[in-house]
Structures are given as C-alpha cells and as structure tokens.
Amino acid sequence: MNIPDYVGRKLNNVLDEIKKYEDSYKIIIKETISPANKDTVENTECRIVRQKVSDNTIEITVSYF
C-alpha cells in the first residue's frame, strides 16, 4: 500500500486520512515540543515534521509551532 507523504501538513487536517490505514498498520504519533513553545501549546498549530513507514507501522512525529 502506498502511504502519502504527510510531512509539513497540519495534524488536524490528516487525522481522518491516517485513520483509513488503521486496519493494516499500527499508527504511532509522537510529540516534540520546542522549549520556547511549551507554555503556549494551546495557541499554536501542530504540524507533522517526520514520517516513517516500515513493515506494519506508520510513525508520525508532530511539533507545535
């Protein structure tokens, strides 16, 4: 199955797209937060900064900007 590249996109915009792979892949979403943004996460946007697809796993790392 060909998984699209989601890097750079807002997480909220791709969650529904990612869910369609739940039957075939284990989906892991990790967070990384810049120390400067830790206090204002509620007011920032969340984007995908890294995507790794292996055998039966889709691993996505998100960051707050």
With a pLDDT cut of 90, the percent of the chain lying above it is: 55
Question: Can you give the pTM of this predicted structure?
Answer: 0.78
Tell me the pLDDT tens digit for each residue of 7-58: 999 988 999 899 999 999 999 999 886 655 555 555 567 899 999 999 899 9
User: Residue 60 burial (CB < 10 Å; 0-12/13-18/19+)?
Assistant: buried
